[in-house]
Amino acid sequence: MNEENRRPLKARSWAIIQKAAGWISQKDVTPNQISIASIAFSGLAGLLFLLFPVAGSALWFYALLILLCFLGRAFCNILDGLVAVEGGKSIPSGELFNDIPDRISDVLIIVGAGYGAGVPVLGWLAAVLAVMTAYVRTLSRGLGAPTDFQGPMAKLQRMLIISAACFLAPIEAMFWEQGYIFAFALTIISIGCVITIWKRAKSAYDYLEGQSDA
């Protein structure tokens, strides 16, 4: 995995993360397997979202499980790169497993949130736009532009918004009809992704055109 293509994350320097990466690096576990494991966490979160409409008093429990799944996904996303680079297990196919599982995870989580909130159209719209932000980043990099992780709606921001909605959903259910919080969150994600796509495409265009003029 190319160092410049890694998403900048402060969590990589945390002692507990470094220790976990060091321990896993000594085991018969590959970075690609860790990347695939992130899909399992995301798939479980998506299934739990589908139970929201019939959760009743168990809504708090489901919300907590989903947040734990998000932590599991985040843990895998950090560890796969650390084990690959710092652990010396990087292989040529690593870039594929670094990106493809993330896109699958985005769709499973965001679409699941849409169905759970009763607004599947918003879930699919937000998921497509989320995948498009990554597509523009990888396409731009393939054309020779620098890797661009700028927001305002990169993966971290999307997950923070979904996490906040997940935390607020049980509170919402105590006072109002369930679903408005996630509908609002998915709308914000969709709008933010459109802005992110534009900014990344514009940055790549400016760079590539500047290079051609140099």
Asked whether residue 1 is domain-assigned, the answer is no
Asked whether residue 137 is domain-assigned, the answer is yes
**C-alpha atoms less than 13 angstroms from C-alpha of 11 in its C-beta half-sphere:** 16
Asked whether residue 2 is domain-assigned, the answer is no
Asked whether residue 3 is domain-assigned, the answer is no
Asked whether residue 24 is domain-assigned, the answer is yes
- Domains of the chain: total: 1
pTM: 0.90
Domain coverage including residue 14: 10-213
Asked whether residue 4 is domain-assigned, the answer is no
CATH of residue 177: 1.20.120.1760
pLDDT in tens, the chain (214 residues): 555 556 666 666 677 778 877 788 888 888 899 999 999 999 999 999 999 888 888 999 999 999 999 999 999 988 888 888 777 777 877 788 888 999 999 999 999 999 998 999 999 999 999 999 999 999 999 999 998 999 899 999 999 999 999 999 999 888 887 779 999 999 999 999 999 999 999 999 999 998 755 4
Asked whether residue 147 is domain-assigned, the answer is yes
